[in-house]
């Protein structure tokens, strides 16, 4: 069976300025897609444009976006030029974790940031994009999950809760779209070496480095490869869930740390 071609298809990636989002941009560029990239750090996106075009992207359009701001999301998507409105693939990648506190010691502002980004932000983006997909009768939504959606870990209470929500929103959306050609996938990973831990610990590089100490983590490219694989299956194939880890990780709690 031939894979689904992404040549000249519009792929919209949130949180595309670093980590898995940036790796997805490079991977979809290699497929000849037209890249619609959003992130809060638009300067990083702008610095990626030339390399993405050289990597094979048919076109690149970047814009600043904080997915937590519903009004800003609605304005940005409604204001897209006509040639960028018909989104074929949405990668809901924007997400983060803050802190590693016991629940009764947690910071409410951290909770709000995680919930507003990981859950509500995904909803604010998905609603108008999916509506367009339904109207056109084509599309694929990829939501970024995590091993945290399967098994909580100490101090991960709210973050794990947001990723569990993503999993169920993903499954609910797939059911809502039954009878349409639109596909919905949840692609989750365990330990991936990105800025994730540095963001979690608010720039504490030393503490972040210890997360990956004596272990071989996944790379952002590993996850991007799985996402592109799911999207390029033949149109009748819907990859509902992918859960991937490094060989040194069994779940959120069990790791093989080499001495």
90 strand-pairing partners? 12, 141
The C-alpha atoms of residue 212 and residue 191 are separated, in whole angstroms, by 8
Is 159 designated active site?
yes
Q: Are 208 and 216 in contact (CB under 8 A)?
A: no
Give the other-Cβ count within 10 Å of 54's Cβ. Answer: 9
The C-alpha atoms of residue 251 and residue 245 are separated, in whole angstroms, by 8
Q: Are 233 and 32 in contact (CB under 8 A)?
A: no
Query: Residue 79 contacts by C-beta under 8 Å, 6 or more apart in sequence?
Result: none
Can you tell me which residue has the tokens 């720039």? 203
Reported in sequence order, the residue ranges of 54-134 that DSSP labels E, i.e. its strands, are: 59-64, 89-92
Residues with a catalytic annotation lie at: 159
């Amino acid at each position: 069976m031939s894979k689904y071609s992404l040549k000249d298809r519009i792929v919209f990636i949130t949180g595309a300025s670093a980590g898995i989002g940036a790796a997805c941009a490079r991977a979809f560029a290699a497929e000849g897609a037209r890249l619609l990239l959003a992130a809060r750090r638009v300067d990083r996106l702008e610095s990626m444009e030339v390399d993405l075009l050289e990597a094979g992207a048919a076109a690149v359009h970047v814009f600043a976006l904080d997915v937590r701001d519903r009004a800003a999301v609605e304005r940005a998507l409604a204001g897209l030029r006509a040639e960028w409105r018909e989104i074929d693939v949405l990668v809901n990648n924007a997400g983060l974790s803050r802190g590693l506190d016991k629940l009764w010691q947690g910071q409410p502002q951290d909770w709000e940031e995680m919930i507003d980004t990981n859950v509500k932000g995904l909803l604010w983006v998905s609603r108008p994009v999916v509506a367009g997909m339904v109207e056109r009768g084509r599309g694929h939504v990829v939501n970024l999950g995590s091993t945290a959606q399967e098994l909580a870990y100490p101090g991960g209470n709210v973050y794990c809760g947001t990723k569990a929500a993503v999993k169920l929103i993903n499954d609910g959306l797939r059911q809502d779209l039954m009878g349409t050609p639109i596909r919905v996938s949840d692609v989750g990973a365990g330990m991936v070496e990105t800025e994730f831990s540095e963001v979690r610990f608010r720039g504490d590089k030393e503490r972040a480095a210890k997360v990956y100490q004596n272990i071989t983590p996944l790379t952002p490219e590993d996850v991007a490869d799985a996402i592109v694989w799911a999207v390029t299956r033949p149109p009748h194939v819907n990859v509902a869930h992918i859960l991937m880890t490094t060989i040194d990780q069994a779940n959120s709690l069990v790791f093989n740390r080499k001495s």
